[in-house]
Amino acid sequence: MANNEYPQQEQTVDGLRQWLLTTTPCSRLQARAGRSYIAWLSFTRNRLAVIGLGIITLLVLTAVLAPLIAPYHPNVPDLEQRLQTMSMEHWLGTDQLGRDILSRILYGSRLTLYVVVLVAIIAAPLGLVVGTVAGYSGGLVDSVLMRITDIFLAFPKLILALAFVAALGPGIENAIIAIAITSWPPYARIARAETITLRNSDFIVAARLQGAGHIRLIVHHIIPLCLSSVIVRVTLDMAGIILTAAGLGFLGLGAQPPLPEWGAMIAGGRQFLLDQWWVATLPGIAIFIVSLGFNLLGDGLRDVLDPRSGGK
């Protein structure tokens, strides 16, 4: 299907596309790449999801490049410059200690990313293991594990996180632990539901006949198939995690001063709300944009990975 009227470059792009979209792939790699490409195509068709992905990319870039792009040091006070309004020197003004708000927001993206990544790393595997083991074993193990999951699900997340922080003491690490402890149960439920549908399927039986043990079956055959629904759920939960972490920071129980955590920054600017409104309100816009990004991305991923719930 070589078309001579196309310039050379477009021909190779076309060739690559054909290689990806072929219905008769010649290798595993080609099949896999093709599947990913199709998923990518249907993902990019959702404009909002692409915006979400853009926001998250921007968040990551900001976090990485914060020292390069921030005009001032985030934590060094400059009392002569306190509570300045927006100007050319301080684009978003300064706070009660004369620190540049823009720089603090830029550095704050690091803390947000830190919280989100750590909570996901702790909570998602925990939920996956509990859910797959419960679903795979059935019987008493299943009942006990799911009862525990239900108990955790039955509580309001923020209250439980508050109680844990009270026990562990305020601080960003303890806030992360508290949020992770309260956010694994939905992942366990999802993983269990998926596992039950897979448990008796032929490929599991075949693997068992070949002598695969329980752990091998769960780790190599069941968990990979539960991953996509858990990833979607984790992405959708990220916004909630960010809001909870910011809430803990706002109450003075999360990140401690002078860390430029967005929730704590809002709390710091509260007493100047009526006269210097920018101190308390601007970090909130950052929180809003980032959680919006995760919500949009999660919605888009759900449509791609779980077509059943499309559009609802």
Which residues of the shown chain bind another protein in the complex (CB under 8 A)?
Answer: 147-148, 150-151, 154-160, 162-169, 239, 243, 246-247, 250-253, 263, 266, 270, 273-274, 277, 280-281, 284, 287-288, 291-292, 295-296, 312
Given the complex with another protein, which of 207 and 243 has the nearer CB atom?
Answer: 243
- Quick one: tokens of 159? 């209250």
Supply the minimum distance, in Å, between the C-beta of residue 180 and another protein. Answer: 15
Supply the minimum distance, in Å, between the C-beta of residue 191 and another protein. Answer: 20
Given the complex with another protein, which of 136 and 262 has the nearer CB atom?
Answer: 262
Supply the minimum distance, in Å, between the C-beta of residue 269 and another protein. Answer: 9
Supply the minimum distance, in Å, between the C-beta of residue 50 and another protein. Answer: 15
The SS3 of residue 100 is strand
The SS3 of residue 249 is helix
Residue partners of 124: CB distance under 8 A and separation at least 6: 184, 187, 230, 231, 234
Write b or e for each residue in 121-152: b if 16 or more Cβ atoms lie within 10 A of its Cβ, otherwise e: ebbbebbbbbbbbbbbbeeeebeebbeebeeb
Supply the minimum distance, in Å, between the C-beta of residue 309 and another protein. Answer: 9
Instruction: State the number of CA atoms in the 13 A half-sphere of 198 facing the CB.
Output: 26
Q: Are 179 and 243 in contact (CB under 8 A)?
A: no
Given the complex with another protein, which of 195 and 291 has the nearer CB atom?
Answer: 291
Given the complex with another protein, which of 168 and 198 has the nearer CB atom?
Answer: 168
Distance CA 25, CA 52 (A): 32
Given the complex with another protein, which of 225 and 292 has the nearer CB atom?
Answer: 292
